[in-house]
């Protein structure tokens, strides 16, 4: 473990083996860091949530998984409810000045580029990449393997394995990310078919996804997770814009 003399680690914080806490970083008593976490200068892990109704005496916290890197000026706020946790998974990379608000949950290997702002209660799936300056509305969900373009405004749920830009505009599947996963050709083909099944027809997307799941004969776990994503959430879903060549959107 390496802790710079000017770093602040409050009594009650739990810091795992091999962590590096750089100069002027703050790890509050509400934080639990896994092994090998790196916190860079002026980052604050475990600060109070920005909620006018929050009682600072509430027992809540932040958990950060093994090997996650927290760069300069990042802020990760603790949960609002008693015994609640804001959670950042293992192997995540939170770039300069990104913000993880209260009650967010980031799965493993999530990357937030510079100045990404996650509002409260946002969920981000494993391996997702959120581009610089993107703004994510409270309670939104970003599915696993998704790529969000820089400067995007995310006000609706973004399905797994997709590419989104601007304001809730789906471009298609995250082809580059899927290829890097080394998925079999059959899985890739099924994902394209499932993507079209929920984006090309006009109708209720939850019903379209449920119908595709029950009748589409899909074999891959990735496709099932893609379609099951539409059964949850509170904010509606990012969709391919009409008139944007829907038929090729999954290519």
pLDDT computed for residue 13 by the predictor: 96
Q: What is the pTM of this model?
A: 0.90
Please say if 153 is a catalytic residue: no
Asked if residue 21 lies in contact with residue 39, where contact means CB atoms within 8 angstroms, the answer is yes
pLDDT tier, 132 (very low <50, low <70, confident <90, very high otherwise): very high
49 Cβ contact partners less than 8 Å away, ≥ 6 residues apart: 77, 78, 79, 80, 101, 102, 103, 120
Task: Find residue 162's DSSP bridge partners.
Answer: 173
The candidate with the shortest Cα–Cα distance to 108, out of 124, 92, 129, is 92
Residue 183 or 32, more confident: 32
Asked if residue 225 lies in contact with residue 144, where contact means CB atoms within 8 angstroms, the answer is yes
Q: What is the pLDDT of residues 166-192, one digit of tens each?
A: 998 999 899 888 888 888 888 888 999
Please say if 251 is a catalytic residue: no
Choose the catalytic residue: 36, 120, 143, 145: 120
CATH number of the domain at 2-174, out of 3.30.70.100, 2.60.40.680, 2.160.10.10, 2.40.50.140? 2.160.10.10
Residue ranges covered by each domain of the chain: 2-174, 177-248
Q: What is the pLDDT of residues 45-68, one digit of tens each?
A: 999 999 999 999 999 999 999 999
Choose the catalytic residue: 103, 127, 145, 177: 103
pLDDT computed for residue 202 by the predictor: 80
Please say if 73 is a catalytic residue: no
């Amino acid at each position: 473990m390496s802790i710079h003399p000017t770093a602040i680690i409050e009594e009650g914080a739990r810091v795992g083996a091999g962590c590096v806490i750089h100069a002027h970083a703050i790890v509050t008593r509400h934080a639990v860091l896994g092994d090998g976490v790196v916190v860079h200068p002026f980052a604050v892990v475990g600060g109070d949530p920005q909620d006018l109704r929050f009682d600072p005496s509430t027992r809540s916290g932040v958990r950060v998984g093994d090997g996650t890197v927290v760069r300069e000026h990042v802020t990760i706020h603790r949960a609002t409810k008693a015994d609640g946790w804001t959670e950042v998974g293992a192997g995540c990379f939170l770039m300069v000045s990104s913000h993880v608000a209260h009650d967010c949950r980031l799965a493993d290997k999530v990357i937030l580029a510079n100045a990404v702002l996650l509002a409260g209660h946002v969920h981000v799936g494993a391996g997702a990449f959120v581009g610089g300056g993107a703004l994510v509305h409270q309670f939104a969900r970003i599915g696993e393997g998704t790529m969000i373009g820089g400067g995007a405004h995310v006000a609706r749920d973004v399905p797994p394995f997709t590419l989104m830009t601007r304001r809730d505009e789906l471009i298609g599947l995250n082809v580059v990310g899927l290829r890097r996963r080394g998925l079999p050709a059959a899985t890739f083909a099924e994902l394209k078919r499932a993507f079209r099944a929920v984006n090309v027809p006009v109708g209720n997307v939850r019903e379209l996804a449920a119908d595709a799941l029950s009748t589409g004969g899909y074999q891959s776990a990735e496709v099932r997770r893609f379609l099951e994503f539409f059964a949850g959430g509170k904010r509606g879903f990012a969709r391919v814009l009409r008139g944007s060549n829907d038929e090729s959107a999954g290519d």
